[in-house]
């Protein structure tokens, strides 16, 4: 499916969206009102328009307030600076698989409705093939085009926050609550954690709460959906600290990384979408125009 270029009568800076997203090192992506929208022609920037009623006129919120609300929604997502500019339009597919992944995630975002349950998606594939870009682009579209509240997290960083919270006396639910309740949550780098019982219980609690409330959760993981057989000779001692074992661990499947219970829940909540192609971070041609130019 073609990704339409936003509005036609467009401003060269914002392509008619009214919003500019800034990429600032060390901060999550920040959106602001484009110059073309700074002074609204209808309300002169006051945010109110006078509407005539019987014998009088009353002030009503101007439609341009939508823009301020949507900018606030975007700024609450926590999109990493490296993918601040990620959108469906800026995603350049280099393989059929990436073209399909973009079409599938765009279709999800376009059809998303805030008033009914929406099945999420799980992007899987090798690192550097654009999974984080598609996650960020989906959240950007939902916030700016549809006014849907979203959050982006890397699961390992969330675990660090929870651990740091323990040290300062904060219960884990203080940190999880807002993530458990946001309309759309994207969890990146799923399965990268060590897979301890505690880590799994945190993940299980978060996605179970969201599942029970009918909220949509999106995921991305570097691990393959299916297990690739790890060849161990019968009776061979496995040294878990060895480089060989670490390499084998990297070929583990997502089911092995997160455990059967969570994996089966993921299958209930999500469509699995494969994203494979050249590595954007290694391939000079494919990586051109990214953050690390
Ligand atoms: Zn503009
Ligand atoms: Zn206005």
Q: Note down pLDDT in tens along the chain; length 293 residues.
A: 556 555 556 788 888 888 999 988 888 899 998 888 877 778 887 888 888 877 888 888 887 888 889 999 999 999 999 999 999 999 999 999 999 999 999 999 999 999 999 999 999 998 889 999 999 999 999 999 999 999 999 999 999 988 888 888 888 888 899 899 999 999 999 998 888 899 999 999 999 999 999 999 999 999 988 766 555 566 666 666 666 666 655 668 899 889 999 999 999 999 999 999 887 666 545 444 454 44
The CA 144 to ligand 1 mean position distance, Å, reads 14
pLDDT of 5 reads: 56
Alpha-carbon span 147 to 253, nearest angstrom:
35
- For the CA of 47, the nearest ligand: 2
User: What is the 5 CA–ligand 2 centroid distance (Å)?
Assistant: 24
Q: Which two tokens stand for residue 236?
A: 């061979």
pTM: 0.82
* Burial class for 174, CB neighbours closer than 10 Å (0-12, 13-18, 19+): exposed
The Cβ of residue 22 has, within 10 Å, a number of other Cβ atoms equal to 12
pLDDT at 281: 66
Contact yes or no for 214/281 (Cβ under 8 A): no
Cα separations in angstroms, 74 against 132, 146, 179:
16, 11, 15
Predicted confidence at residue 65, as pLDDT, reads: 82
From the CA of 12, which ligand is nearest?
1
Ligand found nearest the CA of 39: 2
**Which residue stretches of 29-171 are H helix?**
35-38, 65-75, 96-111, 131-146, 155-167
From the CA of 50, the nearest ligand is: 2
* Whole-number Å distance between alpha carbons of 255 and 280: 26
Under DSSP, the state recorded for 237 is P
Q: What whole-number distance in Å separates Cα of residue 280 and Cα of residue 85?
A: 15
Helix (H, G, I), strand (E, B) or coil at 91: coil
CA atoms within 13 A on the CB side of 63: 4
> Measured in angstroms, how far is the CA atom of residue 216 from the centroid of ligand 1?
31
Residue 13 Cα, ligand 2 centroid: separation in angstroms? 20
Could you list which residues have their CB under 5 Å from ion ligand 2? 40, 42-43, 62, 64
């Amino acid at each position: 499916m073609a990704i339409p270029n936003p509005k036609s009568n467009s401003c060269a800076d914002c392509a008619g969206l009214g919003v500019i997203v800034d990429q600032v090192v060390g901060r999550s992506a920040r959106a602001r009102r484009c110059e073309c929208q700074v002074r609204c022609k209808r309300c002169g920037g006051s945010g109110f328009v006078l509407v005539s009623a019987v014998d009088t006129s009353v002030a009503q919120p101007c439609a341009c307030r939508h823009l301020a609300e949507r900018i606030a929604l975007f700024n609450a997502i926590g999109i990493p600076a490296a993918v601040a500019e990620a959108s469906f339009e800026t995603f350049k597919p280099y393989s059929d698989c990436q073209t399909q992944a973009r079409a599938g995630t765009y279709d999800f975002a376009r059809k998303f409705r805030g008033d009914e349950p929406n099945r999420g998606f799980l992007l899987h594939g090798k690192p550097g093939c654009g999974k984080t870009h598609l996650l960020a682009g989906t959240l950007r579209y939902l916030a700016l085009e549809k006014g849907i509240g979203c959050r982006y997290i890397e699961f390992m960083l969330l675990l660090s926050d929870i651990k740091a919270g323990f040290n300062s006396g904060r219960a884990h639910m203080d940190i999880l609550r807002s993530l458990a309740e946001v309309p759309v949550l994207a969890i990146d780098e799923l399965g990268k954690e060590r897979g301890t019982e505690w880590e799994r219980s945190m993940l299980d609690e978060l996605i179970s709460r969201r599942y029970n409330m009918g909220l949509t959760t999106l995921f991305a993981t570097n691990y393959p959906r299916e297990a690739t057989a790890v060849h161990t000779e019968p009776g061979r001692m496995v040294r878990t600290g060895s480089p060989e074992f670490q390499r084998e661990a990297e070929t583990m499947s997502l089911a092995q990384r997160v455990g059967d219970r969570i994996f089966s829940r993921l299958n209930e909540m999500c469509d699995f979408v494969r994203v494979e192609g050249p590595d954007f971070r290694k391939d000079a041609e494919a990586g051109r125009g990214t953050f690390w130019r």
